[in-house]
Amino acid sequence: MNERAYFDWNATAPLRAEGREAMVAALSLPGNASSVHSEGRAARKLIEAARAQVAALVGTEPKNVTFTSGATEANMLALTPALESGGRKEPRDRLLVSSIEHPSVSCGGRFAASQIEQLPVDSNGVVDLDALKAALAKAERPLVSVMLANNETGVIQPIREITAIVHAANGILHVDAVQGAGRIDCDITALGADLLSLSAHKLGGPQGAGALVRHSSVVGGIQIAEPLIRGGGQERWLRAGTENVAAISGFGAAAEAANDARQADAIRMAALRDRFEAALKVHTPATVVFGATAERLPNTSLFAAPGLKAETAIISFDLNGVAVSSGSACSSGKVQISTVLTAMGVEPELARGAVRVSLGWTTTEADIDLLLNAWMRVASSLLKRDQRAA
C-alpha cells in the first residue's frame, strides 16, 4: 500500500511551510546573535521577532519568553526550589505534580525525591482538587506543576481553578502547555499560571526548540535564581549558549501560523475526531474511549478494545498505511502500560491495548476513511485471533 495517513501529531507535527521558510532564511545568515556587528544584529533581530511571535501565542510580553532546546529543558528550568516570587528569596519547599504528567515533569526536575508528591486524578484523568488543597495545606512554599492538556488522552485540566487554589496557598503554578498551545486557548494571563512550557515541534515548528514563559503581572515577577545551563548571558542569563537562530525562527513562524488558524482548525479536527469515534463504536461497540466525558483537545482520541494488544495493533496499523501510537512518544519506542491510564484506574488488561490517534491541520476526510478501514482490518484480525488464543 503506497497511500499513508499520519495520526501521531501529539508525538510530533510535520514542519509547517512558514516554519521551514523562516529556517531557510535564518540559515543564510552568518552572524552570531551576541555579536554587535551588522551580521550579529541581523541574527538578533530574527530571534527577537520570534520571541514576539511566541509571546503572542500565549498572550504575554516578549520579555517573558526564554528560549530553550525544547519543552523538557523548559520543564527542568522551571522545576527548581530556587524560584523567587515578588522579590522574596525563599526557596520552594515542596513540589506537587499530578499523577498524569509527562516524564520530564514527573521526574521532579531539580527537587529531591523526598520533596515531591503526586496528586491523584479521577477516572477521566482530571486532577482531584480536594487532594490538591490537602497537599498544599502541608507545604509552606509549594510549587505545583499540572499540564494544560494530557498528551495521551487529550483531557484538559481546570487550570483556572487550580491557579486560584495554588495562589491562595502562597504557591507558584507551572503549566506544561505543550499539547495545548496552538490547539486551544493558551493565554497565560487568562489561565493565571506563573510559568508555562512550550515546544516548537508540537505545533509545526522544528524539533529542538522550546520556551519557558513567565507571567508578567506578578509583583516583582517570578525569578529563577539558579539557571539550568550556566555560562554566557544569553536569554537574559537564564539559558547560556549561542542561540539556535534557525530553530528559534522556525518556532516563531510556526507559532504565529498556529495561532492564526487555531479556531478554524479546532472546529474541523473535532468534527473529524468525533466522526472517527462514532464509527469506532459502531464497528466495535465494546471499545472504550478514555476521557470521553471530559473536556478534551479537539484532535486527540485514546481508545482500547477488550482483548487488543497495543504492540500488535500499532504494527498492524502501520502495515495498513496508518501511523498511530500507544501514548507518549518519550519511552524510546517501547510499548508499555500507560502510567496515565494506571493513574485513572483503568484495568491493566484494557490499558495494554490503548491506541492513540491524534490529528492535525492537514488531516482530511480521506485520512479518516483510511484510518477506519485500517481499524476494521486490525480489529477483525487481531481481536478474533486473541479470542481464539483465549
Q: Catalytic residues, which ones?
A: 330
| Helices of type H across the chain | 17-27, 38-57, 71-78, 103-106, 129-136, 159-168, 188-191, 245-283, 310-319, 339-343, 348-351, 365-378, 384-389
Q: How far, in Å, CA of 91 to CA of 33, rounded?
A: 33
| Grid cell listed for 225 | 535564581
Closest CA to 350 of 279, 295, 302: 302
Give the bridge partners for 155, in sequence order: 296
Q: How far, in Å, CA of 349 to CA of 337, rounded?
A: 9
Q: How far, in Å, CA of 289 to CA of 354, rounded?
A: 9
Give the bridge partners for 296, in sequence order: 155
Backbone φ and ψ of 2, nearest 5° = -90, -30
Q: How far, in Å, CA of 48 to CA of 40, rounded?
A: 12
Chain-centre distance for alpha carbon 74: 12
Q: How many CB atoms lie within 10 A of CB 356?
A: 27
Q: How many CB atoms lie within 10 A of CB 299?
A: 27
Q: Which residue has the cell 508525538?
A: 11
Q: How far, in Å, CA of 196 to CA of 314, rounded?
A: 32
CA dihedral 105, 8, 270, 163 (to 10 degrees): 10
Q: How far, in Å, CA of 358 to CA of 335, rounded?
A: 17
What residues contact residue 350 under an 8 Å CB cut-off, 6+ apart?
A: 288, 304, 306, 341
Q: How far, in Å, CA of 228 to CA of 239, rounded?
A: 7
Give the bridge partners for 227, in sequence order: none
Q: Which residue has the cell 496552538?
A: 182
